[in-house]
Amino acid sequence: MKHYVVLMIAFLMIAPQLANASSSELPTLGDRSSGIVSPDQEYRLGRAWLRQLRAHVPTVEDPLIYDYFEHLLYLLASNSDLTSPNLALAVINSPQINAFAVPGGVIGLNAGLLIHSKAEDEVAAVIAHELAHLSQRHFARGQEYNQRTQWTTAAALLASVVLMATAGSDAGMAALATTQATAIDQQLRFSRNNEREADRVGMQTLVRANMNPQAMPSFFERLLKSSRYSGRVPPEFLLTHPITQSRISDSRNRADAYPLKNNSQNLEFELMRIRTSVAYTREDTSAISELEANLKNSKTANEEVTRYGLSYAYFRANRFQDALKTLEPLLKKRPNRITYQYTKASILMAQNNYQQAMELLEKALAFSPNNYPLSMAYGEALLRNKQPQKALRIVREQQRNKPLLPNPWYLMSECYGKLGNSIGVHESRAEYYYLTGKLEKALEQLNYALALTEDDFQSHARIKNRLKAMQRSKNDLKL
Phi first, then psi, for residue 461 (nearest 5°) are -65, -40
Q: Is 187 left (phi over 0), alpha (psi -120 to 50) or beta?
A: left
What is the pLDDT averaged over residues 111-115? Answer: 95
Residue 183 neighbours by CB under 8 Å, 6+ apart: 149, 152, 156
Number of H helices, E strands in the chain: 25, 3
What is the pLDDT averaged over residues 59-83? Answer: 96
Residue 236: inside a domain: yes
Q: What is the pLDDT of residue 149?
A: 45
pLDDT category of residue 198 using cuts at 50, 70 and 90: confident
Residue 206: inside a domain: yes
Q: What is the pLDDT of residue 296?
A: 86
Q: Is the pLDDT of residue 151 over 70?
A: no
* Same domain assignment for residues 59 and 180: yes
Q: Is the pLDDT of residue 107 over 70?
A: yes
Number of domains making up the chain: 2
What is the pLDDT averaged over residues 111-116? Answer: 95
* Same domain assignment for residues 326 and 287: yes
Q: Is the pLDDT of residue 118 over 60?
A: yes
Rg, the chain, Cα only: 23
Please list the residues that pair with 90 across neighbouring strands: 108
What percentage of the chain carries pLDDT values higher than 90?
Answer: 62
Q: Select the more confidently predicted residue: 61 or 224.
A: 61
Is 130 annotated as catalytic? yes
* Same domain assignment for residues 233 and 299: no
* Same domain assignment for residues 112 and 14: yes
What are the tens digits of pLDDT across the range 47-67?
998 999 999 999 999 999 999
> Cα–Cα distance between 302 and 305 in angstroms, integer?
6
Confidence (pTM): 0.85
For the chain, the 3-state helix, strand and coil shares in percent, each to the nearest 5, are: 70, 5, 25
Q: Is the pLDDT of residue 179 over 90?
A: no
Of 190-194, 208-212, 299-303, the poorest mean pLDDT is in: 190-194
- SS3 for 80? coil
- SS3 for 20? coil
Range of the domain at 294: 282-333
The alpha-helical segments, DSSP class H, found in 266-370 are 267-279, 284-297, 303-316, 320-333, 338-350, 354-367
* Same domain assignment for residues 166 and 292: no
Q: Which of 62, 121, 122, 130 is catalytic?
A: 130
Q: What is the pLDDT of residue 32?
A: 43
* Same domain assignment for residues 305 and 217: no
Closest CA to 101 of 149, 67, 53: 53
What are the tens digits of pLDDT across the range 361-404?
999 999 999 999 999 999 999 999 999 999 999 999 999 999 99
Q: What is the pLDDT of residue 371?
A: 98
Residue type, 185: D
Phi first, then psi, for residue 49 (nearest 5°) are -65, -40
Q: Select the more confidently predicted residue: 170 or 391.
A: 391
Q: What is the pLDDT of residue 236?
A: 56
What is the pLDDT averaged over residues 83-93? Answer: 91
Q: Is the pLDDT of residue 231 over 90?
A: no
What are the tens digits of pLDDT across the range 313-333?
999 999 999 999 999 999 999
Q: What is the pLDDT of residue 253?
A: 94
- SS3 for 213? coil
Q: How many residues does the chain have?
A: 479
Q: What is the pLDDT of residue 227?
A: 60
Q: What is the pLDDT of residue 45?
A: 84
- SS3 for 382? helix
- SS3 for 90? strand
What is the pLDDT averaged over residues 125-145? Answer: 74
* Same domain assignment for residues 184 and 79: yes
Q: Is 298 left (phi over 0), alpha (psi -120 to 50) or beta?
A: left
* Same domain assignment for residues 229 and 116: yes
What is the pLDDT averaged over residues 418-438? Answer: 98
What is the pLDDT averaged over residues 431-437? Answer: 97
**DSSP assignment, residue 139?**
H
Counting other chains too, the contacts that 353-359 makes at CB distance below 8 Å and 24 or more residues apart are 354/381, 354/384, 354/385, 355/385, 357/381, 358/382, 358/385
Closest CA to 147 of 14, 13, 20, 16: 20
Instruction: Write down which residue in 256, 272, 301 finishes a domain.
Output: 256
Mean pLDDT of the chain: 83
Residue 426: inside a domain: no
Residue 438: inside a domain: no
> Cα–Cα distance between 473 and 465 in angstroms, integer?
12
* Same domain assignment for residues 93 and 177: yes
Cα angle 35-41-46, degrees, rounded to a multiple of 5: 135
Instruction: Write down which residue in 272, 306, 333 finishes a domain.
Output: 333
Q: What is the H or E stretch that residue 100 is in?
A: strand 99-102
Q: What is the pLDDT of residue 206?
A: 96
Is 303 annotated as catalytic? no
For strand 88-92 and strand 99-102, is the pairing parallel, antiparallel, or unpaired?
Answer: unpaired
- SS3 for 437? coil
* Same domain assignment for residues 202 and 293: no
Residue 36: inside a domain: yes
What percentage of the chain carries pLDDT values higher than 70?
Answer: 76
Residue 178: inside a domain: yes
pLDDT category of residue 195 using cuts at 50, 70 and 90: confident
Residue 342: inside a domain: no
Q: Is the pLDDT of residue 417 over 90?
A: yes
* Same domain assignment for residues 241 and 296: no
Q: Which of 67, 144, 195, 199 is catalytic?
A: 199
Instruction: Write down which residue in 273, 301, 333 finishes a domain.
Output: 333
Q: Select the more confidently predicted residue: 121 or 239.
A: 121
Residue 446: inside a domain: no
* Same domain assignment for residues 129 and 244: yes
Q: What is the pLDDT of residue 300?
A: 61
pLDDT category of residue 133 using cuts at 50, 70 and 90: confident
Q: Is the pLDDT of residue 134 over 80?
A: yes
Phi first, then psi, for residue 243 (nearest 5°) are -110, 130
User: Torsion angle, CA of 195/197/203/208, rounded to 10 degrees?
Assistant: -140
For strand 88-92 and strand 106-110, is the pairing parallel, antiparallel, or unpaired?
Answer: parallel
Q: Select the more confidently predicted residue: 436 or 22.
A: 436
Q: Select the more confidently predicted residue: 149 or 248.
A: 248
The whole-angstrom distance between residue 402's C-alpha and the CA centroid of its chain comes to: 13
